[in-house]
Amino acid sequence: MMETIEKIKQQIAENPIILYMKGSPKLPNCGFSAQAAQAMMSCGEQFAYVDILLNPDIRAELPHYANWPTFPQLWVEGELIGGCDIILEMFQRGELQPLIKETAAKYKEEAQGE
């Protein structure tokens, strides 16, 4: 069994865009996660997600690792972007869409180049 922190590091390393949330984007389990996932889906790119309700170890450890107490949490290219408020603020300001699109495009190119 991998240590939880190692598992988190691996998830963040392997997924350029990852949302830690309660539930799934299609069946969110809390209002904040629902709003965050909605904003992410509106960007029109695929993103990874981890349902922390199914992963209590990650739910317990990630706030310490991230130094961010709440969920959802959006990570892009290994950097914590923030939670629901920040995601929605960036979306409304038109900053989330280019970040997500550019990141997705960059990794698509890399995948094709392999």
Interval 87-103: pLDDT, tens: 999 999 999 999 999 99
Q: Is pLDDT at 2 greater than 80 in this prediction? A: no
Average pLDDT, the chain: 96
pLDDT at 33: 98
Q: Is pLDDT at 63 greater than 60 in this prediction? A: yes
Binding residue ranges: 22, 30, 59, 71, 84-85
Binding residue ranges for [2Fe-2S] cluster: 30
Instruction: Provide the sign of the torsion angle of the four alpha carbons 70, 86, 105, 65, taken in this order.
Output: negative
CB 49 within 8 A of CB 26: no
Domains of the chain, each with CATH number or no CATH = 4-113 (3.40.30.10)
Q: Which of 93, 81, 76, 74 is nearest to 35 (CA)?
A: 74
Q: H-type helices in 15-55, by residue range?
A: 31-42
Say which DSSP state 15 is in: -
> What is the per-residue pLDDT across 72-87, written as a single tens digit (0 to 9) for each?
999 999 999 999 999 9
Name the pTM for this structure.
0.94
Binding residue ranges for glutathione: 22, 59, 71, 84-85
